[in-house]
């Protein structure tokens, strides 16, 4: 009796093709297994992560005072490059404040006069200086 012929040895590609589904399943399941058992341990850290990282500024900066005419009681204000300008700006109450100390220097009312990034404002109270920042007061 003749011995049975041996099977040919599978190629490296055939072995890899046989192992690929198992390897893929293992790689997809490992990240899911890493979170098992962590659900109730870090409740304090989960609550702390819901707090905001950054809070919005209280005043929305519109621009800077270019010049002030005490006789006319008016100031010219230039918008900052990325200012969010309220649509009906005319008649809005504005605050001028010193850029370093943030101390209020004047209260302004925006006029309807506007040319490009520059608009006029009437000074109601105080004395603004050039380079004072102009902001919208916080909503009540």
Report the distance separating Cα 88 and Cα 78, nearest Å.
Answer: 17
Residue 91 lies in a domain: yes
Tell me the average pLDDT across 8-20: 79
Average pLDDT taken over every residue of the chain? 82
pLDDT, residue 69, reads: 95
pLDDT, residue 36, reads: 65
Residue 26 lies in a domain: no
Model pTM? 0.57
CATH of the domain at 78: 2.40.10.170
pLDDT digits (tens, 9 = 90+) for 29-75: 777 766 666 655 555 555 556 776 766 566 678 899 999 999 999 99
Give the range of the structural domain holding residue 127, as residue numbers without chain letter: 60-136
Report the distance separating Cα 82 and Cα 87, nearest Å.
Answer: 15
**More reliable by pLDDT, 17 or 112:** 112
| Helix-, strand-, coil-residue percentages of the chain, each rounded to 5 | 20, 35, 45
- Cβ pair 125, 106 in contact under 8 A: yes
Residue 51 lies in a domain: no
């Amino acid at each position: 009796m003749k011995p049975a012929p041996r099977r040919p040895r599978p190629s490296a590609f055939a072995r890899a093709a046989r192992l690929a589904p198992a390897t893929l399943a293992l790689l997809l399941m490992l990240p899911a297994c890493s979170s098992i058992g962590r659900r109730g341990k870090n409740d304090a850290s989960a609550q702390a992560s819901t707090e905001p990282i950054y809070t919005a500024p209280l005043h929305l900066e519109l621009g800077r005072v270019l010049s002030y005419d005490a006789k006319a009681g008016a100031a010219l204000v230039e918008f900052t490059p990325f200012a969010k300008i309220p649509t009906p700006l005319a008649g809005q109450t504005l605050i001028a404040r010193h850029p370093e100390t943030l101390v209020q220097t004047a209260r302004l009312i925006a006029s309807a006069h506007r040319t490009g990034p520059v608009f006029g404002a009437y000074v109601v109270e105080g004395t603004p200086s050039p380079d004072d920042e102009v902001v919208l007061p916080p909503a009540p």
